[in-house]
Every structure is written in structure tokens, then in C-alpha cells.
Structure 1
Amino acid sequence: MSEQATAGTRPRPGVRAWPLYVGGFLGPYASTMVTPMVHEVATGLRSTPEVAAAAVTTYMLPFAAVMLVSGTLAERWGRARTMQVSLVAFVVACACCVLAPTIGWFLAARALQGVTNAFTTPLLVAAITDLVPRAGLGRALGLFAGMQAAGQAASPLVSGPAAALDWRLAFAFPALVAVVLAVLPPTMTAGPRPTGPPPVRALLNRDLALACGLSFLCYLAAVGLTVLAILRAEDDFGLGPWQRGLLAAAFGVAGLLAAPLLGRRLDAFGPRRTGVLMNLLLAAGLLVAALGPSVALLGLGIAAVGVAVTGLRTTVNAIAATSTDGNRAGAASLALAFQFFGGALAPLIWVPLYTDVGAAGFAATAVAPVAALVLLAAVRDRQTVQDR
């Protein structure tokens, strides 16, 4: 990356910034890492693929529920201390997944992973917003979203091949990353933090409500794609775990490659216009992935959704983290909570629909970005009327 491109993402001098971006990949990696190997997990734990697929929901529901309050609690306890404790707990949760003797124990360990990760991602977003000059915030959050996309890409690339040997090996990689971040923690604040409890009332604002709505709808569609694309790859095209993993990696690779451009466009266009463009791309990608008659078109649709989701992550983080100064981590965690509530509900809604009606059920995921476009139009129109 060039000197000019990185200048806007640089935090203030004396800051250890690289762990902020490296940490961005843990949440997306852990959330979908089981998806490419649900059949192998089911076989290894004497269960069924349908039950093993619930590992996505059992991770995301506690992840989302705890994030309703995790940012506010971390502002009270101290960001740096909270970050290190949660990273150590995440390593323990990975070990529990590896050692799980039954599917019940495995799902409980996945829930523990979700709880521990709820105290990392929103703190990283809040720290980046504090440490990076506002003129380059879009590019910095774009880089962070790119690392999240890298996590999404690494997940199938590690889980797919690991499943061909032993699915338990897939948990070593995120555990190692968490250990590195615990030993070399990022700088979490720009200076002394305000004393006293962070204000909860500061979270009651329209910008944050918009971010929560967009976040929910984005992941309702995106996680639906990650699950249904794997199912379609096996059902319609007969792909094995290696091929499924490589296909699913198109989501994260495309998002990673597009992240620098998306961050610059956010700085240039603003969050609402960027949100409209990304939701249009999301709807198009979902339809191509659902209805395309070849593996190539399925992969193209997955890649388009990966770009759109990376752009929407950047947009949502920018809206949420700048919606209040008094409780920035609380705002980031609340928007992320809605993101993962959407992700947790996705398999419960889309998998039965896909099972019942096939491609039409997959294509129905495009309803989510259409609803997001309606939400963006309603907020803009309301603001226009009030500004007159």
C-alpha cells in the first residue's frame, strides 16, 4: 500500500495500531468457521448436519446479546483490561471446542466463543475512531473492514482443508491470533478517558438507530448467503469440502481487495449514499448466487456480496461510532449486536425456506437489502422535512 493511501489511516504518533486491524478478523472468522465443515463436525460428534449448522446461531446469539452492553461495560471497566481478559477467554473457548466430546458440549463452547468475542470487536472500532484523524476515518474503517473480510476469507480456507484431516484443527488458528493480540495489545484510547460511568442516554439517537437497522438487515442477508451457498454448492454441483471452502473464500477475498476503495468512497460520498450503493450491490449479488446456473456464477454472486458487506460494515461502523462521543464503544457494540442478531436469525429463516422451495428460497434473501434501501430513504426523507 502506498504512502499516500496509508496516510489517512495512520493514528496519532506513539500508538500501537496494527493489532487494532489484525483483531478485526477474529469475529468474522469465528462466526462462520464451522459452515464449510458442518458435515464433518456432525460425523465426528455423531450428530446431523442440521444440528451442526446450529453452531452459527449458538455463536451469534450470545455474541449479539452480550454486545448490547459489552461496549458500555468495557468503557466502565477500561478498554485495555477488558480486551486482554476477553482474548484469553477466547483461547479457552477454542480449546473447549477442540475437546468437546458431544455436539451439546460443542455448541456450548461455541456460545462461549461468542460471549468472549463480544468484548473485542466493538472496542476495536471505538479505538480506531478515537485514534485516527476524522478526515481519514472512512479509510481506516475500510481497512478494518478489509481485515474482517480477511477473517471471512481465512475461515473457509482453513476450515475446509482442516475438515479433510480433522475438523478440530481449524480452531488452532484463531486461538493463535488471540494469543498474539493478548501478548501485544493495541493502544485502546487517545488519552485519559472521562471518569464515571459512560452515559447510556447518549445511545438514544437517530443515527445509531439507523446503524442498528442497516446492520441487522446486512447480516440477515449475508449469513444467509454463506450458509445457503455452501448447501447449494453440494446439492446442485456436488462440491466437496476443499472446493466448498475455496468457493466460500470468494466472499472474504473480494471484500479484502475492495476494502481500500470502499473506505475512500465512504470519505468522498458519505455514509448514506454509500449505504444505498452497497445495498443495491448486495441485492444483485444474492440473486446471482441464488439463480446462477453454474459454479462460476455462484462464485461471482458470493464475491459481489462480499464486496457489499465490507462496504456496509464500514458504513455502519462510521455511523455508529460517530453518533456519540460520550459512549463510543457502547454505540459500536450496540450496532454490532444488531448485526449479529440478524446473522443468528439467518439460518433459522433461510435454511427451511431453501429446503422447501429451493432457489426461490435462496433468492428471497434479497428482501433484506431492499428493506435497507427503504430504511435509508425514510431516514433521508424525514431529515429533509425537519431541516426545512
Structure 2
Amino acid sequence: MLGPFGAGVVSSMLPELSGSYGVSADTAASSLTAYLLPFALVMLFSGTLGERWGQVRTIRAAYAGYVLVALLAALAPWFWLFLAARGLQGVANAFTTPLLLSKLAQITPAHRLGRALGTYGAMQSIGQTSAPLVGGLAAERSWQWAFLGIAAVAAVLTLIPLPPDERAAGGEPARLRDAWRPAVLWSGLIIFLAWACLAGLPFLVAFRLDDLFALSPAARGLALTGFGIAGFLTAPLVGVLADRFGAKAAVCAGLALGAVAVGTIGLSGPLPVVVVAWAVGGVCGQLVLVGTNSLVLRGSGGRGGAISVVTALRFLGMSASPAAFTSLYRHDPALGFLVPAAVLVLTAPVAVLRPRSQDLA
């Protein structure tokens, strides 16, 4: 929960950051990218390094570091130092997310892994959905309180016991190239496209809501929360379905239904239809996420490194979405949604053809 919360907590306090540091609103918004870009890039190798150094030791060190940089963000007198602290938050988060997923796979029976990942996804949805609200409430008094609270939570997490590390097969240390196997990269490609064309579209949905219905910022924000709330409410059920029908079936269903949801938004219609379609997209995102993570984590070796690479590609896909679709939307609003919907449709059969390997079946 802490990762997506820490990333999104600034989204509702940008005017306060702008005023506090005397920078423009666009410059204040760079605090979102300052977290997410280092987070995604470092995660390309953080899982493997964490396995090499020891997962428990790395997770604790990352949480301790998160405490320090969250305090630095709260106390930074200059905006450049605040941005640096945000970047270091993203780096610390890159050493917790993949290793916690690996730990989850370690302690969960294979036939219940989907359910466990569904619960994990629900917690992430809570963090993503609650971050703007909590950040906004903190900013009513002083935005620094949000970062002091984050530091306190990270300090508690540093002390929570974790399962002991698994011993590597043959005693060999984890290698970076072990995570870059065909099955891992294939899964990374699938979720890169899915997140670029589905979970990365809230900015485009906001444009659509404004253009079609002239909603206020608060009303647009409320409509956009449907994605996260629907994902949270259905994540446990999605996990059960992934265990029962298979992870690949969950991924393909999420891609196909997600294409319908995204295409529906592009073809306009009454406001309730658009809002419901976006909420359905949240369910589809959970299907893809739980299914993909389940496929990667069912392997017995190098799970931390593998899930680290796949998660990094997921967030890189999200960050690529504005550049890929904003100009297309400005040219033709319907095409701005129908093109990503078509990509999702074409990705579904590609997911079925995911290569097998001895480590990741």
C-alpha cells in the first residue's frame, strides 16, 4: 500500500507545493515523474540485487531509507531538494515492491497464489485511491504532514517480521541476466502494452469527461476513482478466478474486456456509461495484473529479479501513455480511445503464445 500511496500523495497538493516553493503548477507536477521514473528504471535490476544481498536485509534497508527521504521531503527548503527526495523515495520503493511479491510467492501454496496476489492488488488499490484524499486533507493544514505520516508508517514497516530468505539453488548468487529470460520479457511486453493502453489512460478519460460533460475538477476526480475502487472491490475475486481458470485466461479476459471498456469511452454516450466503463477497466486491470504476476511468480528461481523486470515495464508502459495518445486524442477524440482498444485486442492472442521455460512455466 505504501508504494502507490507515496507516489500519488502529491497529486492533490500541487497548488500548495507551487505556492510553497514559488514554482509553476507544471513544475510542481514534475514531483510525480520524479518519483515514478527512478522507481521504474531502478526496478529493472533491483529485484536481482535484493536477492543477491538478501531479501529481508534489503527490504528493511529500503524501508529505513524511505523514512529518511520522506523526512527530507517534508523539511526540504528548496524545490530541487524536494524533487531529489521524491526520486530517492522511488528508488527505495523499487527495492520493496518486487521483493515483497517474491516473499508472497515463497510463503503461498501454488494453488492459492492468485488469491494472495488479488489481496496484494487490493492493498495497492487502496494506496492509489486514498493517496489524493489523504494528501489533500493534509494540505488543508500543511502538506508536510503527509510526508511525516509516510515516514512514520515506513518506520513501523521496518520493524515488522518477515519470512526468512530462501537459499539459492546450488548456493549461486542471483545474476542480472537470469531475470531477462524470454518468458519474463514476454510477460513484461504484455503488461507494458496493457498499462499503456488501459491503466495509463486516466488523463485521457479526464479530457473526455471535460470535453463531453464539462465536469468540474472535483467531479472528474470522483469519476476517475471508479477505476481504483472497482479494482479494490474485485481483486480477491479476480485472484480466485485466476487460480480456478488459469493465469493466462485471466490475462486474456482482462485484455479483451478492457478493450471493450476503453472503446466504449471513446464512442461517448451518457455520463453513467462512461463512468461505468472506466470502472470496468479497473476490474480488467486487476485481471491482467494478477494473471501476469501469477505467471511470473510460479517459477522456482530468480523470482525477485523476474517480477522486478516485469513491474518496471508495467510502470514504463504507464509513463509512455501520455506521449503515445495525447496528440492522437487532440486529432480525433474517438481514435484516442479506439487505437489503445485495438492494441489491447491484438495483445490478447499474443498473451496466449507466451513462451515456456524451465523456470517459469
Q: TM-score range by the shorter chain?
A: 0.7 to 0.9
SS in 2 for 1:326: coil
Q: Select the residue among 213, 232, 235 that pairs with 1:259.
A: 235
Are residue 181 (structure 1) and residue 163 (structure 2) matched? no
Deviation at 1:29? Answer: 2.2
Q: Select the residue among 60, 68, 81 that pairs with 1:105.
A: 81
1:32 — aligned with what?
8
Task: List per-residue Cα deviations over 1:261-320 (Å, max 9, x = no partner).
Answer: 101111111121111100122223323445545553443233112211122111111111
Query: In structure 2, do the counterparts of structure 1 residues 98 and 244 end up closer, same or farther at CA, with 3 Å as the change threshold?
Result: farther
Query: In structure 2, do the counterparts of structure 1 residues 114 and 359 end up closer, same or farther at CA, with 3 Å as the change threshold?
Result: farther
Cα contact 2:235–2:286 (8 A) shared by 1: yes
User: Which 5+ residue runs of structure 1 have no aligned equivalent?
Assistant: 1-24, 384-388
Task: List per-residue Cα deviations over 1:133-161 (Å, max 9, x = no partner).
Answer: 11111111111111112222212332344
Q: Select the residue among 99, 106, 110 that pairs with 1:123.
A: 99
Query: In structure 2, do the counterparts of structure 1 residues 310 and 159 end up closer, same or farther at CA, with 3 Å as the change threshold?
Result: farther
Cα contact 1:27–1:117 (8 A) shared by 2: yes
Are residue 276 (structure 1) and residue 276 (structure 2) matched? no
Q: CA RMSD in A?
A: 2.9
1:347 — aligned with what?
322
Query: In structure 2, do the counterparts of structure 1 residues 158 and 44 end up closer, same or farther at CA, with 3 Å as the change threshold?
Result: same
Are residue 329 (structure 1) and residue 324 (structure 2) matched? no
Are residue 237 (structure 1) and residue 196 (structure 2) matched? no
1:250 — aligned with what?
226
Deviation at 1:367? Answer: 4.5
Of residues 209-218 and 101-110 in structure 1, the stretch that sits farther from structure 2 once superposed is 101-110
Task: List per-residue Cα deviations over 1:14-69 (Å, max 9, x = no partner).
Answer: xxxxxxxxxxx222223333334445544444334433333333222211111111
2:188 — aligned with what?
212
Q: 2: distance between equivalents of 1:47 and 1:122?
A: 34
User: Which 5+ residue runs of structure 2 have no aligned equivalent?
Assistant: 357-361
Cα contact 2:200–2:319 (8 A) shared by 1: no
Of residues 300-309 and 272-281 in structure 1, the stretch that sits farther from structure 2 once superposed is 300-309
Query: In structure 2, do the counterparts of structure 1 residues 274 and 58 end up closer, same or farther at CA, with 3 Å as the change threshold?
Result: same
Are residue 143 (structure 1) and residue 115 (structure 2) matched? no
Q: 2: distance between equivalents of 1:351 and 1:54?
A: 18
Q: 2: distance between equivalents of 1:52 and 1:230?
A: 19
2:70 — aligned with what?
94
Are residue 361 (structure 1) and residue 333 (structure 2) matched? no
Query: In structure 2, do the counterparts of structure 1 residues 278 and 60 end up closer, same or farther at CA, with 3 Å as the change threshold?
Result: same
Task: List per-residue Cα deviations over 1:85-133 (Å, max 9, x = no partner).
Answer: 1012122232333334454433332221111100001001111111111
Of residues 246-255 and 226-235 in structure 1, the stretch that sits farther from structure 2 once superposed is 226-235
Whichever residue aligns with residue 324 of structure 2, its letter is I
Query: In structure 2, do the counterparts of structure 1 residues 43 and 283 end up closer, same or farther at CA, with 3 Å as the change threshold?
Result: farther
Q: Select the residue among 197, 210, 231 that pairs with 1:221.
A: 197
**How many residues in Structure 1 have an aligned counterpart in Structure 2?**
354
Query: In structure 2, do the counterparts of structure 1 residues 357 and 341 end up closer, same or farther at CA, with 3 Å as the change threshold?
Result: same
Cα contact 1:42–1:52 (8 A) shared by 2: yes
SS in 2 for 1:186: coil
Q: Select the residue among 335, 349, 372 that pairs with 2:347.
A: 372
Of residues 99-108 and 325-334 in structure 1, the stretch that sits farther from structure 2 once superposed is 99-108
1:386 — aligned with what?
none
Q: 1: distance between equivalents of 2:317 and 2:227?
A: 18
Cα contact 2:18–2:28 (8 A) shared by 1: yes
SS in 2 for 1:53: helix
Q: 1: distance between equivalents of 2:78 and 2:334?
A: 33
Whichever residue aligns with residue 261 of structure 1, its letter is L
Whichever residue aligns with residue 335 of structure 1, its letter is V
Query: In structure 2, do the counterparts of structure 1 residues 283 and 104 end up closer, same or farther at CA, with 3 Å as the change threshold?
Result: farther
1:20 — aligned with what?
none
Of residues 334-343 and 288-297 in structure 1, the stretch that sits farther from structure 2 once superposed is 288-297
2:289 — aligned with what?
313
Q: Select the residue among 18, 28, 52 that pairs with 1:76.
A: 52
Q: 2: distance between equivalents of 1:366 and 1:167?
A: 38
Whichever residue aligns with residue 29 of structure 1, its letter is F
Q: 2: distance between equivalents of 1:219 and 1:91?
A: 29
What is the TM-score when the length of structure 2 is the normalising length? 0.86
Cα contact 1:149–1:310 (8 A) shared by 2: no
Of residues 90-99 and 39-48 in structure 1, the stretch that sits farther from structure 2 once superposed is 39-48
Deviation at 1:178? Answer: 1.8
SS in 1 for 2:89: helix
Query: In structure 2, do the counterparts of structure 1 residues 162 and 88 end up closer, same or farther at CA, with 3 Å as the change threshold?
Result: same
Q: 1: distance between equivalents of 2:162 and 2:9?
A: 25
Q: 2: distance between equivalents of 1:169 and 1:349?
A: 36
Q: Select the residue among 29, 32, 37 that pairs with 1:53.
A: 29
Percent identical pairs in the alignment equals 34
Deviation at 1:188? Answer: 5.0
2:359 — aligned with what?
none
Cα contact 2:62–2:93 (8 A) shared by 1: yes
